Structure formats: structure tokens, C-alpha cells
Structure 1
């Protein structure tokens, strides 16, 4: 069972750490800052990745491999590659692409933390936070919560130098434009909610996402079959970062809550290109995703997936505490 594997992999990682490292990585599950998170640069609580030895890093990667799909891992490494490029670092790109965080100047921007005791019976969690990256996994009674989840990239596309032409989180942009351009004029009047894109995702890094900040947009139920397929593929860019069983459960939840109630809203420029800021949101009863590419002359991506019912394992925890009251 994947939950048991995640539990064992986390215990293996903790057992390999020094006492000083354990102090940095560990916190109680009910720590006051449990739901405090950010995708902005700067130090956050936890153990910096660059302090892991090669052997410890292999254990951390094993844990990521249990929770994330191959594409999810590729996106994770892409965030770090973009960080290397934008900072003009001398580290070889292999630092982020194949591992090797130890002593690297990119690993100092990402922090691993374990909340609670993975060896016990009570709820626990682990998280990996840093610039343009926020991964949160909560485990309760054999079930998993996978959100909030944030992936960003600066640059979105490398425009100069030896890596010119390389793109990050490209499908999130391309599928968004494909869906927009597949809509009929009457549908566009509903889907395009503003000529100006917001300067960031509207839910920011709030502990609890507020869907009322978003425009409603065009419902899935008002799309034709081809348009629905494109929206499903776009949702898959977010859900598909999760390992198979976790992603399948998310799709089941979306379907159970009424996929026809999902809406697609667009703001900003309707053609891609340098200096063309754009934004979209996908929202439903339980699922919310936002994407923007507005900063740095529209070459700086933010994207987030929130579960309106179960961020931080909220529903799972409610059931757990009701059972054990």
C-alpha cells in the first residue's frame, strides 16, 4: 500500500539524519505555522536541501518518487533548473536535473519538513517549500491529501544564452491557449472575464483558498466534446503530477462532485508572446487551479492546485477526530 511505503520511506530518511538535521526538519503536527506557506524566495522552517548528503538525498528522492509521477518529478526539477538559470549560477544544470543538492547554491532555497510522527498512528505530514515550489502531503488513517500544491518558473522561456528556447511548465500555457482558441464567440464572451490579467494568482498563498475571488467563467457543461477534452487535458497538467492512485482519486472526486460544474475563466492577452500577460482559472465545487504569466514581461509563471474540501487534509482530519473523539 502506497501510504505504508511513504511512511517507511520517511522513517528511513529521518533515521539517516544527524541530530542537528533532525532538529531542523521536525515539528509537531499541530505546530502553529502548519498552514503557513509561500512560494516567494526566502528562508522557511525546515532542513535546507543543500545540507543533505548524497546518501540522505537518495532517501529524499525515494520519498518524492512514491508521491509524484514522472512528470511531477520532471516539473519539480525544472523549477530548480529555472532557478539556476535566472540566478546565473555556475552550478551545472545536472544539479537540479539528476540530483546533487549537497553544497549546491540552488539547494539553499528549498526546505524539507516533517510534521508529526510517521511511525505513530496519529495524522502526520511532510512538506517541501521554497522559491516557486510548495509541496504539501498530509497522511491520515491510510488516506492522503496532496494540496496546496504550487509550481512556478522564472523564466517561463529562456530567451538568451546557451539554454535559449528552453521552456518550463509549457503545457500549462499551451493547453490554456488551445482551449481559449477553441471556444466560439458566444462562449468567449463568458470565458474572457477581463482584458487585463491580475499580477498574480488571486488566491495567493493564503492558508485557506477563497474561490469567491475568482470569476465564474464558462462551465464545462456548456462546452462541446472537443472543448471538454481540452479542459480535461489542462486539468490533467495539475492532477497528473500526483502518483497514479492519488491522481485517480482526485479525478473521481471531481466527477462525483459534478464535472459539468467546473468553469474556465480567462483574463489578459488572448495570444501568446513576449509582453502578453495572461491568466486563467479552473474552479468547481472542490477543485481549483490558477495559472498566471504576467511578471517580467510575461515570462514568469505561477500555478497552483487547491482542494477546496481537503487542503491540508481538512476533511480527512475531521473524520479522524470524529472517530477518535
Structure 2
């Protein structure tokens, strides 16, 4: 099972660390800052990737490969490549393969943390946090929670220099624009909820996502088959970052709670190059995308599970059965 593989990979990583590294990476599962996270630059609790040796990096890569799909890993690389370009640190092709963090400036901006004991029987978690990247994985009784999950990019598109024209997280924007363009006039009136985009995702890095902050927009159930297909593809940009079994479970949850109840809302300009925002929300699923900062060339995107962020539902079931 993938859960057992993730457990073994994490144990292998911890066994390869020095005592000083173990002190930085480890925390109790019930640590007071368990649900504290951010996508802003700056130090956060954990072991900086820059402090890993090449052999230790390989073990982190193994862990990522078990949890994320090939496209999820590509988005991971994209976040770091954009960070390198905007800060003029090095050739972004250096992160064409995951790794190479040891001693690097960019590696020092991302922190890995393990909460709880992966060798035990109680819930545990690991997370990778840093600028424009927040990955949270919680494991409870053979099940996995994959959110909150944040991917961002500055720039969204390189506009000058040797990498001009390179785009990051492009399908998240392109599919949303394609869906908006496919709507009939009456549908667009429902979907476009504001002429001005918010300056960031509305749920920010709140521990608990509040869906009431979002506008309703146009419902999946009120779309044509072709429009629904576009919305499904857009949702897939978020869910598809997860490894197959995890993504499949998410789709099953969305369907079980009524996919027709999902809504798509757009705010801001419909012109390319101008500030814009969209959200997709339903009974369990929430995704936000914002591109407004730095002359609309700075992406923030997030996927939240309204029931199971931080494994809330899984933990409730775990403690209710007395397995702890």
C-alpha cells in the first residue's frame, strides 16, 4: 500500500539524518502550531532543504514521488525555477530535476518537517513549506489527507531576459479563460461576480478555510456538457497534482457530495495581462487562483478540502473508534 511506502520512506529519511537535523525536522503531532502555515517568504519551523546532503535529498525525492504525480512534481520544480529566475540566482534548468538543494540559496527558502512518529500507530504528518509552496500530508489509519496545498509563482511569465516567454502554472489560467470564453452571456453574468479582483486569495493561509468568503458564481449543474468538461479539466489541475490513488479518492468525494453543486466564479478583468481571480467551490472542495500582484504577473493558487484539511474527518473517526 502507498501509505506503507510513505511510512517506510519517511523512516528511511529520518534514519539518515544527524541528531541536529532530527531536532530541526521533528515535532509532536499535537504541536501548537500544527495548523500554522504560510506561503510568504521567510523562515518557518523545520529543516531547510539546503542542509541536506545529496544522499538525504534522494530520500526526500523518494517521499515526494510517492505522494505526487509527475505533473505535481513538475509544478514543484516550476515553483523553484520561478524563484531562481526572479532572484537571478542561477540557471533555472538546474532544477529541471528535483534536488540539488544542498548549499543552494533557493534550497534555504524551503523547510521540511515531520510531525509525530511514522514508526508508530498514531496519526502523523509531514509538510514542506516555503515561499510559494505549502505541501501538507497527514496519515491516519491507512488513509491520507493532502491539503491545504498551495502553489504559487513569481513571475507567472518571464517577460525579459534569456528566459522571456517561459510561463509557470499556465494551465490553471488558460483553462479558466477557456471556460469563461465558452459561457453564454447569461452564464457570464452569473460567473463574473466582480469587476475588480481581490489582491490575494480570499482564504489566505487561514488554518480553516471559510467558504462563505467566496462568491457563488455559476454552478456546474447549469453548464453545458462542453462547459462541464472544461471545469472538470480545470479542477484536474489541482487534484491531478496528487498521486493516482489520492486524486481518485478526491474525485470520488467531490462526486459523492454532488458535483453539480460546484460553482465557478471570476473576478477582475477578462483581458490577458490584467489582474484576475477565480474560485471553484463546493460542499467539500475549494480552489482559488489569484494573479494580481506585480502587474498581474504573480500567481497564488490553493486547494482546500472543506471537510478534511489537516485530516479533520480522518482524525475524528480515529478518535471516535478508540484506536488511539
Q: Which runs of 5+ in 2 are unaligned?
A: none
Matches within 5 A, 1:146-165: 146-165=146-165
Using the size of structure 1 for normalisation, the TM-score is: 0.98
Matches within 5 A, 1:96-175: 96-98=95-97, 99-175=99-175
CA contact (8 A) 1:177 1:271 kept: no
Aligned-pair CA distance for 1:92: 3.1
Aligned-pair CA distance for 1:88: 1.1
Aligned-pair CA distance for 1:56: 0.2
Matches within 5 A, 1:213-224: 213-224=213-224
Confirm or deny that 1:85 pairs with 2:85: yes
Deviations 1:139-181 (A, max 9, x none): 0000000000000000000000010000000000000100000
Aligned to 1:255: 255
Aligned to 1:178: 178
Q: Distance in 1 between matches of 2:304 and 2:59?
A: 27
Confirm or deny that 1:50 pairs with 2:50: yes
Aligned to 1:283: 281
CA contact (8 A) 1:219 1:260 kept: yes
Aligned-pair CA distance for 1:229: 0.2
Confirm or deny that 1:95 pairs with 2:94: yes
Q: Which runs of 5+ in 1 are unaligned?
A: none
Aligned to 1:323: 321
Aligned to 1:38: 38
Q: Distance in 2 between matches of 1:311 and 1:95?
A: 33
CA contact (8 A) 1:38 1:129 kept: yes
Aligned-pair CA distance for 1:272: 1.3
Q: Distance in 2 between matches of 1:280 and 1:305?
A: 12
Confirm or deny that 1:264 pairs with 2:264: yes
Using the size of structure 2 for normalisation, the TM-score is: 0.99
CA contact (8 A) 1:12 1:59 kept: yes
Moved over 4 A (4+): none
Q: Distance in 2 between matches of 1:164 and 1:13?
A: 38
Aligned-pair CA distance for 1:106: 0.3
Aligned-pair CA distance for 1:36: 0.1
Aligned-pair CA distance for 1:310: 0.1
Q: Distance in 2 between matches of 1:117 and 1:213?
A: 36
SS for the counterpart of 2:75 is helix
